[in-house]
Amino acid sequence: MTDAVADMSASEKTSGVPQERQFLRHTLATLAYRGGKAVRGMSLEAAGFRAGEGSRTPAEILAHIGDLLDWALTLAKGAQVWHNSQPLELDKEVERFFAAMQAFDNYLASNEPLHASVESLFQGPVADALTHVGQIVVLRRLAGAPIKSENYSVAQIVAGNVGRDQAMAKREF
């Protein structure tokens, strides 16, 4: 993690948040950027696409990501709570995605103690959420509504920017 932390922008390093927490905040900003791109402009038809019997739709996966982010916040606060939410209307579920991420990021940016290790928060809910964003992208392609690929290593991703308002892609292909 040290090399990745070393690559963070100066503004990210000087925020007063411990480096490991800041790296997790950068990971959340990455999730917001990639997740936002995955759901941006997604039609109701694509959101309801089911690849096979028993598989989740992109809308159901997005609801699960919201549950993961809510769970991550409860872990960070020391009171593990899990909910299996029913998917909301697509626009509301997208709002929930960003709101849950903002709440978690706000906690990470605060001076409140973490009651779970950064590693545990990453390897559990955050890594799972990143995996599920990839599933949404694949399902969109299968539904005939693909998004463009991108060189994410040059994307403008900054810790704390976890809302709907994300930078435009620098290089799509």
> In 3-state terms, what secondary structure has residue 172?
strand
> How far is it, in rounded angstroms, from Cα 55 to Cα 13?
41
Task: Give residue 15's pLDDT band: very low, low, confident or very high (50, 70, 90).
Answer: low
> Domain for residue 92, yes or no?
yes
Task: Give residue 6's pLDDT band: very low, low, confident or very high (50, 70, 90).
Answer: very low
CB crowding 92-101: b at 16 or more within 10 Å, else e = ebbebbbbbb
Rg (alpha carbons) of the chain, rounded to whole number: 16
Q: What is the pLDDT of residues 92-138, one digit of tens each?
A: 999 999 999 999 999 999 999 999 999 999 999 999 999 999 999 99
Q: What is the pLDDT of residues 47-63, one digit of tens each?
A: 999 999 999 999 999 99
> Domain for residue 6, yes or no?
no
Q: What is the rounded average pLDDT of the residues 12-30?
A: 85
> Domain for residue 60, yes or no?
yes
> Domain for residue 125, yes or no?
yes
Task: Indicate the pTM of the whole model.
Answer: 0.90
Asked whether the predicted pLDDT for residue 1 surpasses 90, the reply is no
List the domain range (segments joined by +) for residue 45.
Answer: 16-154
> Domain for residue 145, yes or no?
yes
> Domain for residue 64, yes or no?
yes
Q: In this structure, what CATH number is given to the domain that contains residue 52?
A: 1.20.120.450
> How far is it, in rounded angstroms, from Cα 119 to Cα 117?
5
> Domain for residue 164, yes or no?
no
The domain tally of the chain equals 1
Asked whether the predicted pLDDT for residue 140 surpasses 60, the reply is yes
> Domain for residue 27, yes or no?
yes
